[in-house]
Homo-oligomer: A and B are copies of this chain.
Amino acid sequence: MVEIKNPLYDTAAPSTQALHAADHLQVTPDVAAPITVSTIYEYSSASVTANNYGPDQRYVYAREGTATTTKAEAALSTLTEGHAVLYGSGLTASLAVLVELKPKKIAIGHAYFGVKKVIEQYQGLVPGVQVVGAECDYAGVDLVWIESPINPTGEVLDIEKYALRAHAAGAKLVVDATFAPPPISYPFRQGADIVVHSATKYMGGHSDLLAGVVVAKDTKTAESLRYARYILGLNAGNLEAWLLLRSLKTLPVRITQQSATAKRIVALLESHRRLAVHTACHTPSAEQTSVGKAIHGVQHASLQQICPPFDVARQHPHGFGAVFAVNFRSKEQALFVARHLKLHAFATSLGGVESLVDWRHGWDVTAEPTLLRVSVGLESYEDLAADWKQALLALDDHERKQAAKL
């Protein structure tokens, strides 16, 4: 049977990989893949036995996979430099990693609270599983789980450092790279053992599908993951898989563009913040004060200073991702701005073509209530910049009116 991953495209540009790495799996002349839906396949082999369906038949029941999910996995495998297995959601992918590795002691640091809840469920099932921080000693740790870039700030971690520490302790390093899909990051290059993506975010990119991906370094692990997926039925939906396959074709051009715009918006907001600050060399104008004074801080890989420092740009040669965080001076300011941004939907999630703003504290009480997470979409920089300016000026106007009332 034809291999899922086509090595022919290993050295192609990401945009080419995204379009052609699944071509070898298309069996009819259709240029655009059909949306496959069949749960069952007629046996074609003369000697039917389980796992022996004849030369052209990979599957006989859809929990094993479908033509569409296999194509999506082919494209994802080439893009991510590994062997990708597709799931129904990012958290299902996280669950699949736990089922595969069966860790006894997990080190986890900054991470999406959802992943932590999955680990809680795992702990609820498996007695005695310990969880420690990613910065703690790794004695006895068999699984280190990090996110890079980090939710909700968009700042990145020095993956190589965690890989070295994890491997020294005999642990596996799992990197959740949801915020930085290819070509923005390639965590295997920094030593990750397994890479996880919520494909719901950039890979899907249109806020219209739930899916998750586990990328293994080798086919043996991928096949083991696929077996458990088959048994537990953790597959992605048919429309989701097909839309994902469609979305991947524009992933490189989307994330590259969104990342570039995000960097400019980050620089703009950081500049607004600075220009509102009175220094020895700078006296803010009235407008500068109005626009920037509520911004307490801006966080993004492009602004990052971590101690000890590492070379962020070496880990991210093609961009820093399109999610960043803005801290305001109060929770009320954060919520006001979230509600007054007109081109940013006030909704959770990230990675879509439309810009989004989320107040993470509403989801995760450990998040600062003054923080907004921003996901930059495909709108023009100029329109997004104008949107920020009007929202910040509206806040200033609102605060002046409130003050006048007192």
A403 in contact (CB, < 8 A): no
Give, as a whole number of angstroms, the nearest-CB distance from A249 to chain B.
Answer: 5
The complex places the Cα of A91 from the Cα of B39 at a distance, in Å, of 14
Give the oligomeric copy count.
Answer: 4
The complex places the Cα of A145 from the Cα of B34 at a distance, in Å, of 35
Q: Which of A47-78 contact B (CB under 8 A)?
A: 48-50, 56-57, 60-63, 67
Binds B, one of A118-126, A152-160, A289-297: A118-126
Give, as a whole number of angstroms, the nearest-CB distance from A56 to chain B.
Answer: 8
Name the interface size band of chain A.
35 or more
Known: A13-B383, A50-B363, A88-B237. A40 touches B253 (CB 8 A): no
A354 in contact (CB, < 8 A): yes
Inter-chain contacts of A28 with B (CB < 8 A): 27-28, 41, 67
Of all chain B residues, the one with the shortest Cβ separation from A240 is B237
B41 touches A347 (CB 8 A): yes
Inter-chain contacts of A48 with B (CB < 8 A): 335, 338, 346, 359, 362
A210 in contact (CB, < 8 A): yes
Q: Which of A1-54 contact B (CB under 8 A)?
A: 12-16, 18-20, 27-44, 48-50
Inter-chain contacts of A90 with B (CB < 8 A): 233
Binds B, one of A200-208, A215-223, A279-287: A200-208
Which 4 residue pairs across A and B have the least CB separation, nearest first? A237-B237, A89-B233, A13-B380, A30-B38
